[in-house]
Amino acid sequence: MSEKRKAYIAAILYAFVIGLSFMFVKVTLTVASPIDTLAHRFTVAFIGIVILIVFTKNKLTIKKQDLLKILPLALLYPIVFFTFQVLGLARISSSEAGIIQATIPIFTLALAGLLLKEKATRGQFVSIAFSVFGVIYMLMMNGANTTTGNVIGSGFIILSAIAASIYNVFARRLTKQYSLLTLTYVMTLCGFVIFNGIAIGDHVTKGTINDFFKPFLHVDFIIAILYLGLLSSLGTSYLSNYALSILEASKMSVFSNLATLITILAGILFLQESFRIYHLIGGFMIVMGVIGTNYFGLKRVAKNEKI
């Protein structure tokens, strides 16, 4: 199997995991605060990567200068991205968040052009627009709307989308310099230290440290936090870093729209939400947009190679 095909498989798996994560975040927020959810999430993720390193006997050598290079990326993802995401999901529905998440390819394409000199073709622009319109059409038909009461939540999701776009751009450079395990380890460690520091510090100040562990009395929370920690935090860090080491940032970002489709399908399958014709139409537009963006990208590469 070619490296390019493996990268696309990683991007698709990434989309599936992220798409289902919205549902699991909603589950955790029923019994825990946003910051406690993030702290527990990255505790599980950090334990997971430490176990992985021990069992695979991988040796990581991380110097101070390496840490300083990776730290800005880690602040974007997971710190800024997940903080704004969970704060937004605490205030608005996953459908509304999905509409806003569709802006990630737009931000990424613009930033990749400015910073990485990745020039998108007219066909790629049209494909991305087609995919974005598919998300917006499907979710609008699904009854999503933005009211005065959730403007703050929408703002948080927009900031999360911008953080993801900047991450998509800068991660492309670092994946050429460091191993995927090194990047994933540093990013997970940062999330573990920062989120636990904030959460525990807040509980100590308020004298409510016992409340920090109460969510683990709920089975649903345990299942959700294991998914979010091991798959959505740890797994997606590895998958996205791997995909970005091979694919252009603009191509990778389009898979965020596929993740939105997965979010809707998860609601239909697990929450017994109704399936209507507009789900099929919107889903078709999203998938065709993903395929089109990558097709025109490959066509451009082939043309350049001939030249």
Q: Indicate the Cα dihedral angle 242, 245, 251, 254, nearest 10°.
A: 30
pLDDT confidence of 26, banded at 50, 70, 90?
confident
Residue 173 has pLDDT above 90, yes or no: no
How confident is the model over 273-286, as a mean pLDDT? 77
Do 278 and 141 contact (CB within 8 A), yes or no? yes
Q: Are 11 and 238 in contact (CB under 8 A)?
A: no
Helix, strand, or coil here: 58? Answer: coil
Instruction: Report the alpha-carbon angle 269-271-272, nearest 5.
Output: 65
Q: How far apart are CA 257 and CA 292, in angstroms?
A: 13
Is 23 a residue whose pLDDT tops 80? Answer: yes
pLDDT of residue 300: 60
Examine the pLDDT at 39 and tell me if it is beyond 80. Answer: yes
Inter-residue contact 39 to 271 (CB < 8 Å): no
CA distances from 191 to 77, 233, 248, 273 (A): 9, 9, 26, 34
> 77 with 168: CB under 8 angstroms?
no
- Residue linked to tokens 């959730």: 150
**What whole-number distance in Å separates Cα of residue 245 and Cα of residue 242?**
5
Instruction: Report how far residue 9's alpha carbon sits from residue 195's, in angstroms, rounded to the nearest whole number.
Output: 31
Residue 279 pLDDT exceeds 80: no
State the chain's mean pLDDT as an integer.
Answer: 83
Q: What count of other Cβ atoms lies within 10 Å of the Cβ of residue 37?
A: 27
The model carries a pTM of 0.80
Q: What is the pLDDT of residue 19?
A: 87
Percentage of the chain modeled with pLDDT above 90: 30
- Distance, in Å, from the CA atom of 292 to the CA atom of 157, rounded to the nearest integer, reads 26
Q: How many CB atoms sit inside 10 A of residue 11's CB?
A: 25
The number of angstroms, rounded, from the C-alpha of 60 to the middle of its chain's C-alpha atoms is 25
Give the C-alpha separation, 14 to 74, whole Å: 18
Of 12-21, 79-88, 113-122, 175-184, the range with the lowest mean pLDDT is: 113-122
- Cβ atoms of residues 22 and 157 within 8 Å: no
Nearest residue to 259 via CA among 295, 298, 222, 231:
231
CA distance 254 to 289: 8
Over residues 60-105, the pLDDT tens digits come to 888 888 888 899 889 998 899 999 999 988 887 777 777 777 777 7
Whether the pLDDT of residue 271 is over 80: the answer is no
Q: What per-residue confidence (pLDDT) applies to 115? A: 76
**How far, in Å, CA of 65 to CA of 77, rounded?**
19
